[in-house]
Amino acid sequence: MPVKVLFIASEDEENLSVRYPAAALLRAGHTVEIAPFSVPEDTERVLKQIHRFRPDLVAVSMAFQSRALPFFDLIRKIRKNNAACHITAGGHFPTFEYRKILEMKIGINSIIRFEGEQALVELAEFLDGKRKISDISNLVFWVGKMIVENRVIDEFPDLDALPFPVRNDHPQVRLGENFATLVSSRGCWHAACSYCCIGAFHAKKPGKRHALRSPENIAKEIAWLYHKQGVRLFQFHDDNFLLPKERDSIARLDALMAALDAEKVDVSTTAFLIKARPDSITPNVATRLWRLGVAGVFLGVENATDSGLFALIRGSQADDIERAFGLLRQNNIAVTYNLLIFHPDAMLDEINDNLLFIRNHPGYPFDFGRAEIVAGSPLEKRLVRDGLIKGSWPNWDYRIMDPAVEQMFRINLATFRVPGSGYAKLAHTLIALSYRAAVVRRLYSGPVAKELADETTELVTKGNTFVLDQILKMYALTARLVSKKDIDDLAASIHDGSKDLIRQADALSQRLDRLQQVERKFRKTGVPGEVQFSTVLRKIFRI
């Protein structure tokens, strides 16, 4: 008899961490629904879906430790209203903190550690009376007053053998195009960064902590999305889309392009967004990325200094970053990045060098912040060992060793990071705008697309200059005793400036959107690019 399974997960986009297991359950003959839980306000809708669907199994994906408390509250409410269903939780956070979560006794029956496809199918078989609970891989559960840990699968599944993830009936629209996310691998071939738990997540696997799908398998999934759903914008969520050796990256990119051609996917009509390490970008790799259709790269900068990269165990050099920026720029590929200027060993001199990097790269949107604690990470272990950790589980805090940098970080929390400051929205808006302009230039090449891309670079430069000025104000406050007025004045400056820049970015995004819509209409009539060469049409369509 089919088991009814409800997945609960953040779903700002199709969440592959639940959509892969959902596909495995469907293939095994079970019934599946997904309940998005992206913000606490989704609680009532989730509870109503549970009441309507009446699942036998509720599978909660808690990938982000920072959102643990809202998930705990939701689970308590589910258990209060649904006494009979089995509730299991999984994801990076429960994989490492399974004992603490179970000991809370909030209504969770079990935890699935590590990858969930096989374990969830086996758990459904148990609920259907076809398997013993002791035979379920990766499962942790209560037996009386004892927590029992079943055997852990110590190898990657055959990624090509997995069914493609469950998709919605209609694709999401993002950056003005039909959009889908996908992954070409699991794990990470570096797997050592201090703030990341991926290395620990795959530590029990013998050999490499990284597994690949074949280019042919990836191309088949892209082809289905391309031909069946009209998807033209694809975002790879691999932590490293490229491989450590140039020759391997080149061979894989060439094979993927050949496989896409065999599947009749015209890469001149598609755009890809990827993540990559700076030391993976070489001249030959960069040109192939452009030929494949990569319009944007989230480049793993993390810190622009050798001392910061060493402290974060990035395994790369600052020179790699400069080289990658130049190569991607030469190939008209948009670059966005993040700077972890705050970490346990950060010093003001290092922050100076990071701020200089921002000043020297004004046209690239970025975000900045602190290396945060996640369960299972080397950073967590180090902070506990050194007595720097503070606060309470699961949302730990820590003290930066240099007092001036610690003060700067606390000012950051009170200004840039207060609810409603506008900074976080500004950073995300400029990143999205940069990607959108690159996608438009890729898919709708012409003078107007280039003009809008240039305007985007100008606005990003203006935004980065503003943000840098605010960071410098924050930096200056570390030299003296800070008053409430200092904090209020800086917070107001950040809020007002962010609001104005977001307004400008939204207006430019609307012009890009109108160009995309008009271009698609004109292409259907067989006259692509006509609007970009007509002053009259530009005025009519307000581009």
Crossing angle (nearest 10°) for helices 246-262 and 283-292? 20
Q: Are 203 and 209 in contact (CB under 8 A)?
A: yes
302-338 as b/e, with b when 16 or more CB fall inside 10 Å?
bbbbeebbebbebebebebbebbbebbeebebbbbbb
Q: Are strands 139-143 and 31-36 parallel, antiparallel or unpaired?
A: unpaired
Chain segment 152-198, per-residue pLDDT in tens: 998 999 999 999 999 999 999 999 999 999 999 999 999 899 999 88
Centre a 10 Å sphere on the Cβ of residue 367 and count the other Cβ atoms it contains. 17
Here the tokens at position 452 are 């809008």
H helix and E strand count, the chain: 18, 18
Q: Residue 302 has what pLDDT?
A: 98
Domains of the chain, by residue range, sit at: 4-149, 167-399, 402-543
Cα–Cα dist 404/159, whole Å? 48
Cα–Cα dist 55/362, whole Å? 51
CATH code given to domain 4-149: 3.40.50.280
Amino acid identity of residue 472, one-letter, is L
Q: How many CA atoms lie within 13 A of 459 on its CB side?
A: 27
Q: Are 306 and 317 in contact (CB under 8 A)?
A: yes
Q: Residue 220 has what pLDDT?
A: 99
Pick the CATH number of 167-399 from 3.20.20.10, 3.20.20.100, 3.20.20.70, 3.90.1300.10: 3.20.20.70
Rg (CA), the chain: 24
Cα–Cα dist 440/448, whole Å? 10
Q: Residue 197 has what pLDDT?
A: 85
Q: Residue 82 has what pLDDT?
A: 80
Low-confidence ranges of the chain (pLDDT < 70): 528-529
265: which residues sit within 8 A by CB, 6+ positions away?
Answer: 219, 222, 223, 226, 227
Q: Are 267 and 257 in contact (CB under 8 A)?
A: yes
129: which residues sit within 8 A by CB, 6+ positions away?
Answer: none
Q: Residue 233 has what pLDDT?
A: 99
Is cis: bond before 21, omega within 30 of 0? no
Q: Are strands 4-9 and 31-36 parallel, antiparallel or unpaired?
A: parallel
Q: Residue 55 has what pLDDT?
A: 97
Here the tokens at position 61 are 């994906």
Cα–Cα dist 174/272, whole Å? 12
Here the tokens at position 201 are 């997540």
Cα–Cα dist 340/457, whole Å? 23
Report the candidate in 131, 137, 130 with the shortest Cα–Cα distance to residue 110.
137
Chain segment 89-101, per-residue pLDDT in tens: 999 999 999 999 9
Q: Residue 84 has what pLDDT?
A: 87
Q: Are 32 and 175 in contact (CB under 8 A)?
A: no
Cα–Cα dist 434/99, whole Å? 43
Q: Are 305 and 351 in contact (CB under 8 A)?
A: no
User: H or E stretch including 476?
Assistant: helix 447-477
Here the tokens at position 406 are 């610690």
User: H or E stretch including 299?
Assistant: strand 294-302
Q: Are 327 and 433 in contact (CB under 8 A)?
A: no
Q: Residue 202 has what pLDDT?
A: 84
